[in-house]
Structure 1
């Protein structure tokens, strides 16, 4: 019998270094090239940031447009021919700044009112006083006349007020002299520009704009 057959069988073993080399080689063959996972991509935040920036910008523009048209941009403009252009404001109304006497006031254009109305505190401030029961109005031409009591129908029923003459009433670029005004309680801080003043002007509405032009010159 051969001496080699009498020796015990030896197990096939590799050095540790060779094992590690072969393991790394297997791992390299199993690697699949492809795009890195989303978390590892450089600049992955850029597109979402641009999207939200654009969305916020559009929202800001939309809010500005809504505020200007729904809540009322009531600035007025005097055009080349001397006409006044008003922009529709809140609730579909037109507003214009002006003054009664020398006191500034904001007017609401009210074509349904026969007489221009001012709040009571404004009447007191410019010196309007109640007329005597018997007698004549002895007020000078450059000061308000006395106020005669009258009753007015309003949306809330009948209201007691009084009517007086004012030397000057202004709105926009226009002035009306010796206009009658109703001094009324309960109308807040805003005055109503009624038809006794507006009848002297031409009113043309187009869309959300109202053009006021002088129809005659008052002296």
Structure 2
């Protein structure tokens, strides 16, 4: 057991991070990745769509695996005063093609801490044959704070959602606008501009996680 896992067990009683949920068609989950992605086995769901304690397997007998990535979101549970906004995004086999294409489109080799990921439920209900849920995803790789002080201003990247092709052709349940997600504007609150004397592009500065902005300011001897 790693130190992070041990501390999670200690502080959360084994409950772990809240899971990211898509409750309504068109819902979007987005946030900054805070931990290295992990691979776990999927679980089966009951007829009401709730997870069970039973592990999921393919028809071949092979375990059905998923990627779990912890992201920092702006979501808060009003009934949980200790909710810090972290959510576990379960990238199931159904969702993996969309995320894979989004990572490739971003020119990245994989999901990384500091990257911003957004996923949207775009179609299907998940109930009944030929009506599997469909998703779209976008990804923004992490910015390297140390390089921003000397690099020329960067162009703001506006990732385009990459949708996973449904396994079975079926009419969509409903249209789910918008067709794109503006990751940088949607996931980052308004912040002050870049420090004076730097050549950091304001859009890049606004997209940085608080930790990277703090590190840059500290390196310049400025308060955060």
Shorter-normalised TM range: under 0.3
Return the TM-score normalized by structure 1: 0.21
More helix by share: 1
Return the TM-score normalized by structure 2: 0.21
More strand by share: 1
